[in-house]
Structure 1
């Protein structure tokens, strides 16, 4: 389902200094903007993106899950 995005002109139309809060507009994090853009990806495109992020991981570098959780539960990685 495609969302119709308002144009920049439509967003600014009717705004006055008393109706707009510049800090709310200026403080939008780039991550928040990126999330909306990712919503337009198909499931196949999302899977391809995830897979591409793990291309440089070597299987030998991976830790056994049981071993990892045992170490995690032991407190080995707790902050002092």
Structure 2
């Protein structure tokens, strides 16, 4: 409990919320950069399964992972230097 209190004081987040945010950020990058299935993205980012990823995305971003990908994915084959 002491760690959780100190962590929240320093970051403004609980340890669990911090970890979830880091996982969501990693998933966002994977969804923007590639075509991996939600199940693969979830596993790569530490979520238990695709449903847990989906619920976290809805709670934090108000979008499902597939909606996020449609809105934010780079066109196929385009690199940052071409943008």
Give the TM-score normalised by structure 2. Answer: 0.29
Q: Which is higher, the Rg of structure 1 or of structure 2?
A: 1
Give the TM-score normalised by structure 1. Answer: 0.29
Q: Greater relative contact order (Cα 8 A, min sep 6): structure 1 or 2?
A: 1
